[in-house]
Amino acid sequence: MPLRALLALAILLLPVLLLCFPSAVIAGRTPFQETPITVGEASVTYNFGQQAVFSIRATASADITALYLYLQLAGSERVEVTPVPVDPGPSVQATFTRDLRLFPFPPFGIVRWWWEVRDAAGHQLTTPASTFRYEDNRWDWSSRTAGPITVYSPVDDPLYMQAALDIAAANLERIARSLNTSLPEKVEVYLYPSLADLQAALRMAGRDWMGGQARPELGVILVAVPHDDAYMAQMEREIPHELTHLLVYRLAGPQGYLYIPAWLNEGLATANEARPDPNLDSLLERARNEGRLIPIRNLCPPFSTDPAEALLAYAESGSLVRYIRQQYGDSGIRSLLLAYADGADCEAGVQRALHVTLDQLERAWRADLSGVGKWIVWMADNAPGLALWGLSFLLALPIALVGLRNTKHGVRNNR
């Protein structure tokens, strides 16, 4: 009871206490407004894949004794805090250099940064957060925009850039319609002049990858399209593929996207390529003839990093998704994506969306590949039932024969 009485008294007296000590309350809420610290300049410059230099110039009435740089990288909740050495004084200038070869930023991701400055009199100031996009600034990118899409290329050829923009616009529309999802507000397409250049960029950003790359959470796709006679074919293959990942992300959501099995995500992207790679078909056919097809179950996790195995994985997944689309339509694909986005595992997603097991789906697809009729697949699927039926028929046969013989005798006797 005394505790409760005390609490009641405190609640009653709270407005009076606040009136008596307004400065204490205000100072706690906004401690930096009256700080005598001024930040004259805070800036950042970087060389992609090399280093980023953060600079600050600050003054105060007392000596500035401590500087902290805060960094938050795209896709992470984590905030990195780095104390930056400073010679104490009323006016300081300091830089912090981050080695991007050892501590890369996510390529094309947004970097948030701000400073905290403290002086010997106990004041502190936190600068407002600034952001920049960590794009590959080794190239002088030209850009061209239509609707939500912006295309960037170091090759400033209007025909080449317009072709990329048209292909991106037409395919974004087509794929969004097939998935029954809305268009993203912004899509940025970076065209690298060669696969080696793209791979180098990704390696410099601490990533290893064999082809194009989509950063769906950023709305960015990176593709390698050499400026040669075959650029149209390359664009029609690469751009729809990467756009598919962006739209699957949009349909599934940031969390759901992580649950989409690789065979479905990569298979759909491959099946959506407007100019399919003819090599994938022959690769698939050869693997089938030689009995080397990878079981679909093994294509649920991300594909192997071995290039030959990864190519076969793309070929199989693309073919499987085309088969599902042919049998179940676009709505079947959408149901699958939504089932996985909802957290279903690789097996359960197929069961829930298509009402067959993963094994049944795989057998039907393989039969379709080899041109075997549907009834053989049906027999294979129903083999246990058929065997039981056959056995019971064989067991029942002698009884039926005896019965028939007795009937015949009876008939004969009756005659």
DSSP string, 259-319: TS-HHHHHHHHHHT-SS--HHHHHHHHHHHHTT-PPPGGGGSSPPPSSHHHHHHHHHHHHH
DSSP string, 107-119: TT-EEEEEEEEEE
Binding-site string for Zn ion from residue 383 to residue 412, where x marks contact by CB under 5 A and - marks none:
------------------------------
> Closest approach of Cβ 245 to Zn ion, in Å?
6
> Closest approach of Cβ 133 to Zn ion, in Å?
22
> Closest approach of Cβ 170 to Zn ion, in Å?
19
> Closest approach of Cβ 79 to Zn ion, in Å?
31
Is residue 239 near Zn ion by the rule CB under 5 A? Answer: no
Nearer to Zn ion, 258 or 396 (CB): 258
Nearer to Zn ion, 266 or 316 (CB): 266
Kindly list the distances between the CA atom of residue 209 and the CA atoms of 204, 237, 264, in Å, as whole numbers in the listed order.
11, 17, 19
Backbone angles phi, psi at 41, to 5 degrees: -155, 135
Nearer to Zn ion, 35 or 178 (CB): 178
Nearer to Zn ion, 202 or 269 (CB): 269
Distance in angstroms (rounded) separating the CA atoms of residues 99 and 85? 17
Segment contacting Zn ion by CB under 5 A, of 57-65, 261-269, 287-295, 319-327: 261-269
Segment contacting Zn ion by CB under 5 A, of 15-23, 131-139, 147-155, 262-270: 262-270
- Strand runs (DSSP E) across 32-50, as ranges? 38-47
Give, as one character, the DSSP assignment of residue 72: E
Nearer to Zn ion, 46 or 318 (CB): 318
Give the rounded distance of the alpha carbon of 109 from its chain centre: 13
Nearer to Zn ion, 60 or 219 (CB): 219
Within 10 Å of residue 54's Cβ, how many Cβ atoms? Answer: 21
Is residue 269 near Zn ion by the rule CB under 5 A? Answer: yes
> Closest approach of Cβ 379 to Zn ion, in Å?
36
Give residue number: closest CB to Zn ion: 269
The enclosing H or E element of 222 equals strand 220-224
Kindly compute the dihedral angle of the four CA atoms of residues 191, 193, 197, 199, in this order, to the nearest 10 degrees: 50
Nearer to Zn ion, 246 or 353 (CB): 246
Nearer to Zn ion, 39 or 262 (CB): 262
3-state secondary structure of 396: helix
Is residue 246 near Zn ion by the rule CB under 5 A? Answer: no
Segment contacting Zn ion by CB under 5 A, of 53-61, 266-274, 389-397, 402-410: 266-274
Segment contacting Zn ion by CB under 5 A, of 161-169, 267-275, 280-288, 322-330: 267-275
Residue type for position 270: T
> Closest approach of Cβ 269 to Zn ion, in Å?
4
The CA-based diameter of the chain, rounded to the nearest angstrom, is 132
Are 134 and 188 a contacting pair, CB within 8 Å?
no
Distance in angstroms (rounded) separating the CA atoms of residues 311 and 37? 59
> Closest approach of Cβ 68 to Zn ion, in Å?
40
> Closest approach of Cβ 397 to Zn ion, in Å?
57
Are 84 and 69 a contacting pair, CB within 8 Å?
yes
- The site for Zn ion (CB under 5 A) is made up of 266, 269
